[in-house]
Structures are given as C-alpha cells and as structure tokens.
C-alpha cells in the first residue's frame, strides 16, 4: 500500500509540472489538492513492520526538507514529527522485547541448578531482570516476598516496592495460600524443585483461558543452604495444544 501511494504521489508531481508548463491553473489547483490528499494518506498509514515505518518517515521527511515553507507551521512537519516519535517508540519496544527474550532464555538455562540460578539473580543482569516484564519472585523461608519483578508487580497492579516484605497470603489471598501455595513452598524449602500449571482465567470458553507454567526452585545464594524459593511464572498457552489433559493448579 505504501509503495502504491508513493508511486501515485510522484505521478501527480509529474502531472503538475506538465500542467504548469501548459499554464493550466485550474488543473494545477486540482492536482495540488490530490497531491495533498495522497500525502495525508501516506502519513496516516499504519505500517506492518519497523522497516515500512522507516520508509514512510524517510519519504515524508524528504518532502519537509525540500519545502520552501516555514517547517514548524506546516501540517507535513507535524506529521513527520509524530511519525518519527512512533518509529523510535517502535524501535525501543522491539529492543525491549528482544532483551527480555534473552533474559528469559538465560533464566531457563540455569533453572535446573539452584546455585547457578541464585548467582544469575544476584549478577550483573539482576537490575534488568527484575525491571523487566518477566514474572519472577524470590520468596523467603517466612513466606514473604524478598524481591519481585516489575512484571509480577504489574500483574497485581502494584509496584515492586509495594510487594517486598509482604506475606504471600496477603497478596494471593489466605484461602489460596493455605489450600495450595503453602505446601508447594514447604516442599521447595526442603530442596525440591517443582513445576506445575495454573489456569489464569476461568471462563466459559476454554480457548480463552491463559495457561501459566509455574517453576519453583530452591533459592541458594552463594552456595548456601536453602534460603527461600524462586518462583517463575510463564505464559505457555500456545505451547499447550491439549490443555484439558494438563493438571491445572498452582500459585499466582
């Protein structure tokens, strides 16, 4: 669509040059209107990917740069300013997603070894990890949150600082804690790693449900004895082709 509109724009430019040569003011006026309509159509497009956004911005920026008008007073300039902002935001979102995918993979690589996982959580990536959208928490032996990620805090509509030092039961509810979470945590505090699934939303249509996989790994910082549990929640809905055969339970 973008390529077609750009081609149409250039064709109109050529027709305007011919109309000016023929001294046909009425045709020039009409073509000029058509040209502006086409420019607005290009500016209002929603590109399907960052590359197309880049082409859109470069084309419109070229029009602004070659204009003889006062740039800040033109609609063309305002369109370019807006699109550049959207393009940069798209680039940042893409980089953030890639960074979080890498962090998620790195976490996955060490979940089988509690000591390595603890070292990773305390290492150089710690700030990025707990500042990400990943849902990861460290729960102490007293069943309170030692630390939680921005992603997990966001799930509860809170800030990480509002969850730190809170009892798990206060956050997920006493009934859920006593009925399921306490037993899993106690097993983890004894050195056992667990993995189970949780149905995030209960709706009439099973296809609308979100399936979370919960991993609970003993937290052993600096090679010490177990000091708590690392809880990692992942959305695995797309991986579960037959969710009706999965035992759904768990801890939010």
pLDDT tens digit sequence for 48-74: 676 777 788 788 777 777 765 554 556
Q: What is the pTM of this model?
A: 0.58
Highest mean pLDDT of the ranges 66-75, 83-92, 226-235: 226-235
As a whole number of angstroms, the distance between CA 233 and CA 228 comes to: 16
138 Rama sector, left if φ>0, alpha if ψ -120 to 50, beta otherwise: beta
How many domains are there within the chain?
A: 2
Q: Which helix (H) or strand (E) holds 139?
A: strand 135-140
In-domain check, residue 250 = no
Q: Are residues 82 and 119 in the same domain?
A: no
pLDDT of residue 208: 60
Domain with 180, as residue range(s), is: 113-245
Q: Are residues 223 and 141 in the same domain?
A: yes
Report residue 249 as tokens: 């339970």
Q: Are residues 56 and 138 in the same domain?
A: no
In-domain check, residue 222 = yes
Q: Are residues 6 and 122 in the same domain?
A: no
As a whole number of angstroms, the distance between CA 12 and CA 93 comes to: 36
As a whole number of angstroms, the distance between CA 187 and CA 235 comes to: 23
- The pLDDT-based confidence of 190 (bands split at 50, 70, 90) is very high
Q: Are residues 54 and 10 in the same domain?
A: yes
In-domain check, residue 146 = yes
With 70 as the cut, is the pLDDT of residue 19 above it?
yes
As a whole number of angstroms, the distance between CA 126 and CA 103 comes to: 10
């Amino acid at each position: 669509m973008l390529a077609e509109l750009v081609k149409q724009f250039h064709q109109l430019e050529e027709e305007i040059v011919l109309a000016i040569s023929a001294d046909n003011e009425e045709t020039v006026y009409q073509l000029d209107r058509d040209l502006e309509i086409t420019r607005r159509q290009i500016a209002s497009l929603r590109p399907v990917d960052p590359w197309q956004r880049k082409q859109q911005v470069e084309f419109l920026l070229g029009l602004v740069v070659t204009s003889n008008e006062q740039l800040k007073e033109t609609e063309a300039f305002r369109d370019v300013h807006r699109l550049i902002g959207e393009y940069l935001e798209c680039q940042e979102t893409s980089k953030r997603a890639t960074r979080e995918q890498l962090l998620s993979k790195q976490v996955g690589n060490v979940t089988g070894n509690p000591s390595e996982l603890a070292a990773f959580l305390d290492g150089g990536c710690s700030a990025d990890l707990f500042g990400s959208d990943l849902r990861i928490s460290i729960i102490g032996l007293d069943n309170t949150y030692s630390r939680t990620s921005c992603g997990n805090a966001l799930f509860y509509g809170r800030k990480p600082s509002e969850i730190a030092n809170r009892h798990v039961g206060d956050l997920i509810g006493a009934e859920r804690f006593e009925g399921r979470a306490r037993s899993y945590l106690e097993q983890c505090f004894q050195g056992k790693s667990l993995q189970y699934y949780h149905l995030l939303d209960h709706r009439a249509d099973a296809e609308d449900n979100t399936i979370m996989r919960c991993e609970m790994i003993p937290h052993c910082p600096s090679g010490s004895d177990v000091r708590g549990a690392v809880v990692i929640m992942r959305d695995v809905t797309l991986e579960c082709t037959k969710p009706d055969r999965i035992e759904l339970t768990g801890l939010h």
